[in-house]
Amino acid sequence: MLVTEKPGRLRIVRNGKLDPTPVAGVPKVFAVSQGGLLEVLPHPNFAQNNLLYLTYSKPGEQENTATTALARGRFDGKALTDVKDILVTENWNKGGIHFGSKLAFGPDGLLYMTLGERTDRDRSQSLNSHGGKILRLRDDGSPAPGNPFAGRADAKPEIYSYGHRNPQGLAFHPTTGELWSNEHGPQGGDELNIILPGKNYGWPVVTHGREYGPNGALISKTTWREDMEDPVLLWSPSIGISGMIFYTGDRFPFWKNQIFVGGLSGLRVDRLGFTEKGGLIGRDSIVLGHRIRDVRQGPDGFIYLAVDSNPGGVLRLEPAGTQTSSAGAQ
């Protein structure tokens, strides 16, 4: 198991034990607030090519500036080599929040990447910036062929969808192949969306969320527009939404194809059942008392949760009565 840590460490967990030595070769990160080492994802053909992808907040030349970068290297089980940035996004800003960034390879073999708007809300509606977007890329970081805004002088060719705030979950439906994403909103604004090419998801023009603080002022009086996509589901109050999966294993047969999303402020995991057309048929929460940063399904069919705290850890969800040793790392 590979686990990223905010200060810029990539860690290995074997059989529930944390290797004390971090993986060598990780790029230097801007580890401020929400910045740091973010996502880790192996190439679909990792067994043949050993390619590993990382997203991280890349420091700029000016003090306190950073953007989100996508790096790729080769991992031999101990160290990373041949590491290089294959995409440094046009999303520079001061401060340390709203970097995104999740990765997912699609059934089409292409790489999808989420980006926050770095608290510059107007970027989400501007096609000249990567901020507040979901990108579609080749596995070398170049724009994927057939992207919806390719060839336009006023748009970044990597953009697949726009109008996002800070997407924190990304997963493909196991039977329909649709791309789903969840989005960390302001107060009352966490969303779950089905992502379609070229579509506008509204932020900050359309939102149910409110400003932080005791007054909770409206960000927009508009909660719906015909030319913008409605979320499939809203959380109000927000749960501080984080990573997500569609469960496809056999350990929990009654949960197959259901969505699991983490909650940071909610200290829980939410389980959501949908029809293939996106209709909600049921939801419940597993309250854990921990800030859940990410949700993953292991090759063993269990569900693993990254705990966002100091010290952090990894939890494993098992069916009641399962006779296995607990897996955790601190």
Active-site positions read 98
User: Angle CA(281)–CA(317)–CA(232) in degrees, nearest 5?
Assistant: 25
Q: Which helix (H) or strand (E) holds 46?
A: helix 46-49
Q: Give me the phi and psi of 9, to 5 degrees please.
A: -110, 135
Give buried/exposed letters for 136-157 (b at 16+ CB in 10 A, else e): bbebebebbeebbbeeeeebbb
Structure tokens at 16: 């529930």
* Identity at 122, one-letter amino acid code: D
Q: What is the 3-state secondary structure (H, E, C) of 246-261?
A: ECCCCCCHHHCCCEEE
User: Is the distance from CB of 203 to CB of 164 less than 8 angstroms?
Assistant: yes
Name the β-bridge partners of 80.
Answer: 75
User: Is the distance from CB of 25 to CB of 15 less than 8 angstroms?
Assistant: no
Spatial CB neighbours of 320, under 8 Å, sequence gap ≥ 6: none
